[in-house]
Each structure stands twice: as C-alpha cells, then as structure tokens.
C-alpha cells in the first residue's frame, strides 16, 4: 500500500485572520513525520479542531518572523511542555531566526522540559532515507525562506503479498528491499514479485515573497505547491511594493516550474466574500489551481 502525504491546512489567512480563515499554518503528515509549516496565531486550537495531537509534531519550518507566521509558536511550545513532549523538537527558519527565537523564549518564561534544536537554514538541510528538506531565500521585507519537502522514490515491500505467501518479518525482508531474490522456508521468491516502486513526491511551500524567477527552479516538478496569493492580479503594483505575490504570479510559478497542482494560501480578508476572483485569475494561467478552506485536508 502506498503511503500518502497528507496536508492539513490549519490556517490560510494573510496578516489579519478573518472569521473563516486563521493565520497561516499547514501540517504535513508522512508516516511518523509531522512537519508544521509556519505557526500563526491560533494554530494549536486549529490542531485541536482538526483532531491532531501537537505532541506528534516532529519539525517546525518557519518561513519568517512576521506575526502571521510565528505568533502561535510560543503558545504551542508552552503546550508541548505541559503535555509531556519528550522528543527533540527541531525548528528551522531563515537567517536571523535564532536570535528572535531566543528572545521569544526569554520573554515568555515558560517551563521548557524538552530539547529544542533551532537552526537557520538554506539549501538542503535535512535528509534521511525517506525524504529531504530544502530551503531557499524568498524576496520579502525581512529574511524569509521557501521550503521543499521531497519524498524519495523507494522500493516498498508488498505486505499483502507477504501475508499471502506466509512470509514472516526478518532480515530476509531487507534483502528483498535491496532487490535480491530470496529462499524462504525452502521456496524461492523473486524480489520484484514481493515489492513495488513508490514514485518520488515533492511539496513546495512558497509564502511572502515578490515574484522571483529562482523560485521556479526551486519548485521544479512539484507535485503540489502551496503558494501565497495575497493580492489580485489587478493589484500587481501594490503586491510588488509590499513584497508579495499576486494570484497570477503564483500561477506563473506553478506553470513555469511544470508543477502538478497549486493551492493558494495566505489569502487577504479583502477577498473573503469572493475568493473566486483570485482563483479565476490564477486558473487562467494554471488550470490545476485550487483554494482551500481552513481544516481542509489534501493527499498527495
Ligand atoms: Zn504573511
Ligand atoms: Zn511577511
């Protein structure tokens, strides 16, 4: 069975949350990994509403130190302390992030009884056998990162077939995974009959930035891009001044990077009553664009 990447859109608003949209936060779940992208105000309550356990968070990736992306962090860290979080929490951010983070911890005086590892990152900054994470600089009013989560292509063992052939767990499974045929209880089994290939998957998170062509290369061949769409294409000049993307620019990044899907996030309350305007503009450039509601879940 293929394991899916699940994206929980906890908050999709821009700087000012609205009645329907919370500050930005997206939780990516892949097997035992729960990676939180940004942590705007109210994120932990949104997690409760989504029936997600904050103690299962493994990593937090912060784009930048503007309130709508970090105001929920102190509260969440405090809750983890009170809830017996017992892992090392890895938090990543852009240049200058560490100092801001340390100031925040100092100001709140919460009892911290677990380990936090904070890193300022760019380029590939985490890798294990299943996936890697990378960051690149956006073009915003303060240092800001865009991120990629890339699940590697992998050979998986077909557990249904193991059951069918009554093959139990053991070191022989590692051999099969390496593509080697095995002899199990006197019978020969071909590796290719007991495994299947899972394709690689890429998710890109691009928020708070001016249009920048390097982002096209960064998001190349993404299966899904979450991109900010703070302004309508009609307000391109304003978007440039405030260092944000328009709906059309987000769509251009998706199109030129040959990505498969685009999800518009970081939506302005200005379009609360009529988000279709933003959506239609983007769709003119890139057909596979959607707008999500808070607490929507997508699978990749
Ligand atoms: Zn923002
Ligand atoms: Zn910002």
- The per-residue pLDDT for range 72-109, each reduced to its tens digit, is 999 999 999 999 999 999 999 999 999 999 999 999 87
**Pick from 56-65, 144-153, 163-172, 233-242: least confident:** 163-172
pLDDT band at 152 (very low <50, low <70, confident <90, very high): very high
User: pLDDT tens, 229-270?
Assistant: 999 999 999 999 999 999 999 999 999 999 999 999 999 988
At 110-144, the pLDDT tens digits run 777 899 999 999 999 999 999 999 999 999 999 99
Ligand with the closest atom to the CA of 229: 1
Residues with catalytic roles = 68
For ligand 2, the distance from its centroid to the CA atom of residue 144, given in whole angstroms, is 8
Angle at 43 between CA 42 and CA 47, to 5 degrees: 120
Using the mean position of ligand 2's atoms as its centre, give its distance from the Cα of residue 77 in Å: 22
CA–centroid distance, 283 to ligand 2, in Å, is 24
If you average pLDDT over residues 54-66, what whole number do you get? 98
What separation in Å is there between the alpha carbon of 27 and the centre of ligand 2? 19
Which ligand has its closest atom nearest to the C-alpha of 11?
1
Q: Which ligand is nearest to the CA of 243?
A: 2
Q: What is the pLDDT of residue 2?
A: 66
* Residues whose CB falls within 8 Å of the CB of residue 56, separated by 6 or more in sequence, listed in order: 34
Separation of CA 52 and ligand 2 centre (Å)? 26
β-bridge mates for residue 14, sequence order: none
């Amino acid at each position: 069975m293929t394991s899916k990447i699940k994206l929980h859109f906890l908050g999709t608003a821009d700087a000012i949350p609205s009645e329907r949209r919370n500050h930005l936060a997206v939780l990516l779940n892949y097997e035992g990994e729960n990676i939180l992208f940004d942590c705007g105000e109210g994120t932990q309550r949104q997690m409760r509403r989504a029936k997600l356990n904050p103690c299962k968070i493994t990593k937090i990736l912060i784009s930048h130190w503007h309130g709508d992306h970090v105001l929920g962090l102190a509260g969440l860290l405090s809750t983890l302390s009170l809830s017996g979080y017992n892992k090392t929490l890895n938090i990543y951010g852009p240049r200058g992030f560490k100092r801001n983070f340390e100031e925040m911890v100092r100001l709140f005086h919460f009892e911290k009884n677990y380990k936090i590892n904070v890193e300022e990152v760019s380029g590939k900054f985490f890798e294990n056998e299943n996936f890697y994470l990378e960051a690149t600089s956006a073009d915003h009013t303060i240092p800001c990162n865009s991120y990629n989560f890339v699940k590697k292509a992998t050979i998986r063992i077909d557990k249904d077939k193991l059951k069918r052939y009554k093959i139990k767990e053991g070191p022989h499974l590692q051999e099969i995974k390496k593509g080697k045929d095995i002899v199990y209880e006197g019978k020969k089994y071909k590796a290719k009959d007991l495994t299947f290939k899972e394709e690689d998957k890429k998710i890109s998170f691009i928020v708070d930035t001016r249009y920048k062509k390097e982002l096209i290369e960064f998001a190349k061949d993404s299966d899904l891009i979450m991109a900010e769409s703070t302004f309508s294409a009609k307000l391109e000049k304003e978007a440039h001044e405030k260092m944000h993307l328009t709906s059309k620019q987000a769509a251009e990044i998706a199109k030129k990077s040959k990505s498969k899907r685009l999800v518009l996030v970081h939506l302005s309350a200005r379009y609360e009553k009529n988000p279709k305007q933003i959506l239609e503009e983007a769709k003119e450039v890139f057909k596979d664009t959607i707008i999500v509601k808070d607490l929507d879940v997508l699978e990749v």
